[in-house]
Structure 1
Amino acid sequence: MDRLLGMEVFVSAVELGSFSAAAEVFKITPAMVSKHITALEQRLGATLLARTTRKQNLTEIGKNYYDNCKKILGQINDAEAGAEAMGSNPRGHLKVNASIWFGSLTLTPLVCDYLNQYPEVNISLSLTDRYVDLVEEGFDVAIRIGELKDSTLIARKLSMFEVAICASPNYLAKAGTPTTPDELIKHQCLGFTNWHHQGGWQLIQKQLGAKFEQVPRFESDNGQALLTAAVKGIGIIMMPKELMRKDIESGHLVELMHDYLPPARPIHAVYPSERQLAPKLTSFVEFLRNNLHL
């Protein structure tokens, strides 16, 4: 069997935690995943994965082999990126990550426009509200909203977005309308669990030197869930205005506390430094810089 493909399948099975998940990635059956790994084990004369009906664990040899496979596959990707960079036309496969809501509402139309302009590029768009490790999970680029953590990744600023604070008319009729950040302690503030430390509501309290310690009655790691809760009158929401624009314009949400909003925050494309020369990546990032208008 193809040794390189076997290594890729093995790494995927380890990282995804199951043969069935790896099978989905490579469009093969779980039995074929098992055959690839068995072939590697026979070649090495050692067991790589200790498998039971419920779980799998790397053996000591398997852990060492996994680490080496990751290095080898990374070097191959670097070599391919360097060769691709010598070509003039963007081509190949681009794996992109973004948050669910921003990705589905704002980014997807731009991805379609990009694909129409560059017919030799294929894109896999993964949307999740959790923080992904680009290198570990094999992404070429991620679109991230807000201030970035310290990172070895390359970051290109694409645009800025405005934050808005909103609540439904029904909520305001029941609970009253807050006009200053100090009044928020008397209200139900919806919480986004993926906010980093000092993010979210702390951005408003920070302006007044106070600390916001309210435990939200409802919180989620999904922006759509929070918007639904806000429209249903569960509490007050703070998120990018662009993502709430339709509900604001329809009257389902009312904007609050304009004078206390945090400053506009950046949107970045971030990617590993070893991929920055690939035309498919540079053309995609430049396309977003020119066409993302919020």
Structure 2
Amino acid sequence: MPYQSDHALEELRAFVAVVEAQGFSAAARATRGRKATLSKRVQELEARLGVPLLVRTTRSLRLTDEGRAYFEHASRALASVRDAEAVVLSAKAEPRGVLRVTTSAALAALVMDSVVAAYLARHARVRVELHVSEHRGDLVREGFDLAVWAGALEDSSLIARRLGVADGGYYASPHYLARRPEPKSPEEVAAHDTIAVPKGDAPMDWTFVVAGRPKRVTLRPRLVVSDLALAARAAAAGMGIVRAPSSVVEPYLAKKQLVAILRESTPPGLEVHAVFPVGGALVPKTRVFVDLLQAWFEREPHGARRGDRQR
């Protein structure tokens, strides 16, 4: 059966070459083959199909109606084969060019020292442009190869690969809690000094879990900053309560400059996804970077099991 399939493909290639070159001699020159071989392949194709595809004269060559219909489908089929081969060869190639990545400040800090550094060290022919923003823009329109986002994803034509889970919570300094008693419920947070990092035009509120259900608390923050690292630093200085990923506050927790509060009401960690346009995972520069991200999340304690899906 494989031989028959290969032979049928050779017949198809010969027929398309002859039609595109408008003759057997020209097709033999274009393909660096033998005219007799091409003629034999086309004759075998016509015999197998049971219809004439070409009308031959000593000076011209024209398609029959059946030949014209067959050529349209055959040429598309060959183009698909060439595209598939090109994709496979490209996927094996060395990463090169500029990789444009967009992500949040927290996730950028999470992977900078390990993933980005390793990627640049291993692949000298690639350059990374890391764009940090809390706003989720249009990847294709803004020219990004990849986004790394935490939290729920909207449906779109993009592809999302689940990387893992980023843990986080609510934190305050012992100095602040000495002045203001620790809130016992999410509702009490609204009366406290809070430090917020706005996300575009979204309302400034925090989500908690009460009796197994999400509960949003609207904030009236005493301090608004544009960067999570600054927010964590401000909280460690005693300016109020902050919501932040574990990776951002970890240095302050280790020095006991921050402590976790409202643990029972803290939601589970946010799922993290690598998001890219269709076909992006086959481009070497993107594929290799995503593979490094995946491996890092699988090694880390807050990593989660791998799972790909289209969204």
Pairwise TM-score range, normalised by the shorter structure? 0.5 to 0.7
Find the counterpart in structure 1 of residue 226 from structure 2.
Answer: 221
Q: Secondary structure at the match of 1:186?
A: coil
Partner of residue 93, structure 2 = 89
Segment drifting more, 202-211 vs 84-93? 202-211
| Cα distance, 1:83 vs structure 2 | 4.9
Preserved CA contact (<8 Å) 1:95 1:125: yes
**Does residue 149 of the first structure (1) align with residue 154 of the second (2)?**
yes
Structure 2 partner of 1:125: 130
Aligned position for 1:232: 237
Paired position in structure 1 for 2:296 = 291
Give the secondary structure class of the aligned counterpart of 1:202: strand
Q: Which amino acid aligns with 1:103?
A: A
In structure 1, the partner of 2:190 is 185
Paired AA for residue 179 in structure 1: K
Q: CA deviation at 1:199?
A: 8.5
How many Å apart are 1:204 and its aligned residue?
4.0
CA contact (8 A) 2:195 2:224 kept: yes
TM-score calculated relative to the size of structure 1: 0.65
Of structures 1 and 2, the larger Rg is shown by 2
Distance 1:120 1:172 in 2: 51
User: Between Structure 1 and Structure 2, how many residues are aligned?
Assistant: 215
Identity of counterpart residues, as a percentage? 28
Aligned CA distance change for structure 1 residues 211 and 282 (closer, same or farther; 3 Å): closer
Cα distance in 2, alignment partners of residues 253 and 195 from structure 1: 27
From 276, 284, 298, the counterpart of 1:279: 284
> How far, CA to CA, are the matches of 2:204 and 2:155 in structure 1?
15
Aligned partner letter, 1:162: D
| TM-aligned CA distance change 1:136 to 1:125, over 3 Å | same
For structure 1, the residue ranges without an aligned partner over 5 or more in a row are 1-79
Q: Is 1:159 aligned to residue 164 of structure 2? A: yes
Report what 1:109 is aligned to: 114
Q: Give the C-alpha shift of residue 105 in structure 1.
A: 4.6
CA contact 2:100–2:145 (8 Å) conserved in 1: yes
The residue type equivalent to 1:277 in the other structure is: L
Name the CA distance, whole Å, in 2 between partners of 1:206 and 1:225: 32
Counterpart CA distance in 2 for 1:209 and 1:164 is: 14
CA contact (8 A) 1:90 1:283 kept: no
Change (3 A) 1:204 1:247: same
Alpha-carbon distance in structure 1 between the residues aligned to 2:222 and 2:146:
35
Aligned residues of 1:165 and 1:261 also touching (Cα < 8 A): yes
1:201 deviation in Å? 1.1
Within 1, Cα distance between the matches of 2:211 and 2:112?
31
| Residues 129 and 85 of structure 1: CA distance in aligned 2, closer, same or farther (over 3 Å) | farther
Cα distance change of structure 1 residues 246 and 198 upon mapping to structure 2, 3 Å threshold: same
Structure 2 letter corresponding to 1:90? E
Partner of 2:142: 137
CA pair 118-174 structure 1, distance change in 2 beyond 3 A: same
How far has the Cα of 1:120 moved from its partner?
3.6
3-state SS in 1 of match to 2:153 = coil
| Alpha-carbon separation, structure 1, partners of 2:249 and 2:211 | 24
The reply on whether 1:173 has 2:178 as its aligned counterpart is yes
Deviations 1:178-201 (A, max 9, x none): 122122122122222117858851
Q: Using the alignment, how far apart are the partners of 1:209 and 1:263 within structure 2?
A: 11
Aligned-residue offset at 1:267: 1.1
Shift of 1:260: 1.2
